[in-house]
């Protein structure tokens, strides 16, 4: 089967064009850790998500890669695109910085488990899936700010009444480069500000955690017991 | 009933209405007995634990929660409590008696108690031999700190003062890590390290709480006991 790879949130027009070009292709989110071997192309200490992008590409050899390189992703995405082009992959660069595709935010503020919220929001990038568990809106007890973590299991530590903020909320809103929305926080909601280690968004996460008295955490690949305990303590003591 | 804080190097244990091994008894207060025992020794024994926390135990309580529950009767309404142990550092802050902030440097042992113990053993020194030194090594990473100790000794400094500079560096890091408060309530093994406490006093006032705060937190959080 033909595989289309992508990372971040490629421009919707590009997604539609590619779907028409390859109607039967399987779409793979290259950000996700499928545990393919590290090809040692990137430095050992580097953003695990970008390492996933490179290692997944080498392992899966997609026929085409939709590669966000703008403010909707990060500088590392831009560099990864250049590397993969140089390695001979069919890379189509994407910049999705406008706000014309704005969608209603409803999963981020729902009573779905946090794990389901975030995996559903990212799954909806390529295919809007209405076939998910029924949900209702709920009042936030806690907040989770950030990108979908490499270690998605940490999301299971949070209660269902956890609202999603940051880039993931921007993705649901169809505006992945909306910095105002990315920095939006409900001040009274105790929030965990998550950053992937070696990600430049750590700058925002640390700043916002200090500003709103939240908990800043960064995780490289998988959370150790102490990181889990730290999140658990924050959720119990706040 | 036995409450256990099983640290990487030493375990702290409080028994309520019962006794443990008197070889490790450090103090007694009413119906409570306090023990400090090497964690390697704990692992050899079968002990009926009521509640435990710590790296070396099948913990049923989170160490930050235990710290929060253990310190409350000793602190002001606005307070920063730092627990510095063998392997990690954690702090918690209360504002108006309510939890306000926390952090836990989760896994890097290189600048905490175990390193100091190893250094003392390596240079055949006792903790009491160390005295506060005005100078400090930058020990963001303990491995680089070790290199500085070796360089310092190679350049004619004695091991005592070189390690004291290292300990001063740890104290500065710990204070910075806790967001530079004016006062720190110190919990954990470093309470007994005068060189460390004096170094920390260089930056803020220090009140030592001793090594049993997490254990006391286990007791305090045990609602069943509180209702007795």
What is the DSSP code string of A47-65? -HHHHHHHHHHHHH--SEE
Residues A77-87 have pLDDT tens digits of: 999 999 999 99
Among A188-197, B43-52, B201-210, the minimum mean pLDDT is found in: B43-52
Residue range A3-94 in CATH 3.40.50.11890? yes
Residues A15-36 have pLDDT tens digits of: 999 999 999 999 999 999 999 9
Cβ contacts of A238 on chain B, cutoff 8 Å:
99
Mean pLDDT over each residue of chain A, to the nearest integer: 94
| Average pLDDT rounded to a whole number, residues B117-141 | 88
- Given CB atoms, is A230 within the 8 Å cutoff of chain B? yes
Cβ contacts of B101 on chain A, cutoff 8 Å:
213
For the beta carbon of residue B156, count every other beta carbon within 10 angstroms: 6
Cβ–Cβ of B106/A215 closer than 8 Å?
A: no
Long-range own/partner contacts, residues A117-123 (CB < 8 A, 24 or more apart):
A117/A162, A117/A164, A118/A144, A118/A148, A118/A152, A118/A155, A118/A164, A118/A168, A119/A148, A119/A152, A121/A148, A121/A164, A121/A168, A121/A171, A121/A172, A122/A29, A122/A31, A122/A148, A122/A168, A122/A171
Can you give the pLDDT at residue B101?
A: 85
Cβ contacts of B141 on chain A, cutoff 8 Å:
none
Residue ranges making up the domain that contains B118: 74-210
pLDDT at B97 over 90: no
Cβ contacts of A237 on chain B, cutoff 8 Å:
64-65, 68, 92, 99, 102
Among B107, B92, B90, B82, which residue's Cα sits nearest to residue B8? B107
pLDDT at B224 over 50: no
Percent of residues, chain B, with pLDDT higher than 70 = 91
pLDDT at B8 over 50: yes
Residues A55, A46 contacting (CB under 8 angstroms): no
Among A55, A56, A61, which residue's Cα sits nearest to residue A88? A61
B87 part of a folded domain: yes
- Given CB atoms, is A154 within the 8 Å cutoff of chain B? no
| Average pLDDT rounded to a whole number, residues B162-167 | 94
B56 part of a folded domain: no
- Given CB atoms, is A227 within the 8 Å cutoff of chain B? yes
B169 part of a folded domain: yes
Cβ–Cβ of A237/B68 closer than 8 Å?
A: yes
Chain A interface, best mutation among B6, B102, B109, by max A CB count within 10 A: B102
Can you give the pLDDT at residue B116?
A: 87
Residues forming beta bridges with residue B206, ordered by sequence position: B184
H/E segment holding residue A215: strand A215-219
Cβ–Cβ of B100/A230 closer than 8 Å?
A: no
| CA–CA min distance B92, chain A (Å) | 10
Cβ–Cβ of A233/B62 closer than 8 Å?
A: yes
Among B81, B105, B99, which residue's Cα sits nearest to residue B91? B81
Largest CA distance in chain B: 62
Residues 183-222 of A with CB under 8 A from B: 213, 215
Can you give the pLDDT at residue B228?
A: 35
Can you give the pLDDT at residue B226?
A: 46
Cβ–Cβ of A233/B100 closer than 8 Å?
A: no
| Average pLDDT rounded to a whole number, residues A114-120 | 96
Among A102-106, A126-130, A234-238, B160-164, the minimum mean pLDDT is found in: A126-130
Cβ–Cβ of B107/A230 closer than 8 Å?
A: no
Cβ contacts of B65 on chain A, cutoff 8 Å:
232-233, 236-237
Residues B82, B186 contacting (CB under 8 angstroms): yes
- Given CB atoms, is B64 within the 8 Å cutoff of chain A? yes
We report the CATH number of the domain holding residue B123 as 3.30.420.40
B27 part of a folded domain: no
- Given CB atoms, is B60 within the 8 Å cutoff of chain A? no
A–B: how many Cβ contacts below 8 A?
37
pLDDT at B111 over 80: no
- For A213, nearest residue in chain B (alpha carbons): B101
pLDDT at B125 over 60: yes
pLDDT at B175 over 50: yes
Q: What would the two tokens of residue B183 be? A: 């006062």
Chain B interface, best mutation among A212, A221, A230, A231, by max B CB count within 10 A: A230
- For A226, nearest residue in chain B (alpha carbons): B106
Number of domains chain B is built from: 1
- Given CB atoms, is A141 within the 8 Å cutoff of chain B? no
pLDDT at A37 over 90: yes
E strand map for chain B: 2-6, 10-16, 25-29, 32-38, 51-53, 79-84, 89-95, 98-105, 183-187, 205-210
Cβ contacts of B92 on chain A, cutoff 8 Å:
237
Cβ contacts of A213 on chain B, cutoff 8 Å:
100-101
- For B65, nearest residue in chain A (alpha carbons): A233
Tokens 């305090």 sit on residue = B220
Among A11, A39, A184, A3, which residue's Cα sits nearest to residue A96? A11
| CA–CA min distance B55, chain A (Å) | 9
Q: Where in chain A is the domain with CATH 3.40.50.11890?
A: 3-94
B43 part of a folded domain: no
Among A160-164, A221-225, B88-92, the minimum mean pLDDT is found in: A221-225
Mean pLDDT over each residue of chain B, to the nearest integer: 88
Cβ contacts of A234 on chain B, cutoff 8 Å:
102
Q: Is A118 helix (H, G, I), strand (E, B) or coil?
A: helix
B123 part of a folded domain: yes
Q: What are the strands of the beta sheet with A64-68, ordered from one edge?
A: A26-29, A3-6, A64-68, A91-94
Cβ–Cβ of A234/B88 closer than 8 Å?
A: no
Cβ contacts of A232 on chain B, cutoff 8 Å:
62, 65
Among A37-41, A160-164, B70-74, B95-99, the minimum mean pLDDT is found in: B95-99
Tokens 């903790």 sit on residue = B127
Residues B213, B83 contacting (CB under 8 angstroms): yes
Q: What would the two tokens of residue B121 be? A: 């053993």
pLDDT at B160 over 80: yes
- Given CB atoms, is B102 within the 8 Å cutoff of chain A? yes
Can you give the pLDDT at residue A84?
A: 98
Question: How far is it, in rounded angstroms, from Cα B64 to Cα B103?
Answer: 9
Residues A146, A167 contacting (CB under 8 angstroms): yes
User: In A87-148, which residue ranges form alpha helices assigned H by DSSP?
Assistant: 114-123
Question: How far is it, in rounded angstroms, from Cα A6 to Cα A92?
Answer: 9
């Amino acid at each position: 089967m033909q595989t289309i790879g992508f990372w971040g949130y490629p421009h919707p027009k590009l997604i539609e064009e590619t779907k028409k070009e390859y109607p039967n292709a399987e779409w793979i989110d290259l950000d996700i850790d499928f545990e393919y071997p590290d090809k040692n192309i990137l430095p050992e200490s580097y953003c695990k998500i970008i390492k996933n992008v490179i290692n997944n590409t080498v392992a899966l050899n997609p026929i085409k890669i939709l590669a966000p390189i703008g403010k909707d992703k990060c500088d590392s995405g831009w560099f990864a695109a250049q590397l993969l082009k140089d390695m001979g992959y069919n890379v189509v660069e994407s910049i999705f910085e406008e706000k014309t595709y704005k969608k209603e935010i409803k999963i981020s503020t729902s009573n779905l488990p946090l794990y389901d919220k975030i995996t559903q929001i990212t799954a909806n990038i390529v295919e809007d899936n209405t076939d998910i568990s029924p949900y209702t809106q709920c009042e936030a007890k806690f907040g989770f700010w950030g990108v979908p973590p490499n270690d998605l299991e940490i999301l299971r530590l949070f209660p269902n009444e956890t609202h999603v903020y940051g880039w993931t909320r921007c993705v649901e809103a169809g505006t992945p480069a909306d910095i105002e929305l990315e920095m939006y926080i409900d001040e009274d909601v105790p929030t965990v500000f998550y950053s992937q280690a070696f990600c430049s968004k750590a700058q925002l996460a640390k700043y916002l955690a200090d500003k709103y008295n939240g908990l800043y955490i960064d995780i490289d690949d998988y959370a150790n017991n102490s990181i889990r305990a730290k999140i658990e303590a924050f959720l119990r003591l706040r | 009933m036995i409450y256990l804080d099983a640290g990487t190097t030493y375990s702290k244990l409080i028994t309520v209405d019962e006794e443990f091994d008197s070889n490790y008894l450090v103090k007694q207060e009413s119906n409570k007995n306090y023990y400090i025992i090497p964690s390697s020794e704990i692992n050899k024994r079968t002990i009926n634990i009521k509640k435990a926390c710590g790296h070396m135990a099948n913990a049923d309580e989170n160490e930050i929660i235990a710290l929060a529950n253990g310190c409350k009767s000793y602190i002001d309404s606005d307070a920063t409590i730092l627990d510095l142990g063998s392997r990690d550092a954690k702090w918690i802050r209360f504002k108006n008696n309510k939890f306000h902030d926390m952090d836990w440097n989760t896994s890097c042992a290189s600048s905490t108690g175990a390193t100091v113990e190893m250094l003392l053993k390596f240079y055949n020194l006792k903790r009491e031999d160390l005295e506060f030194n005005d100078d400090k090594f930058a020990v963001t990473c303990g491995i680089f700190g070790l290199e500085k100790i070796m360089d310092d000794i190679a350049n004619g400094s004695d091991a005592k003062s070189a390690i004291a500079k290292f300990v001063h560096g740890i104290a500065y890091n710990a204070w910075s890590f806790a967001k530079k408060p004016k006062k720190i309530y110190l919990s954990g093994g470093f309470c007994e390290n005068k060189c460390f406490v004096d170094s920390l006093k260089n930056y803020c006032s220090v009140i030592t709480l001793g090594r049993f705060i997490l254990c006391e937190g286990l007791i305090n959080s045990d609602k069943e006991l509180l209702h007795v």
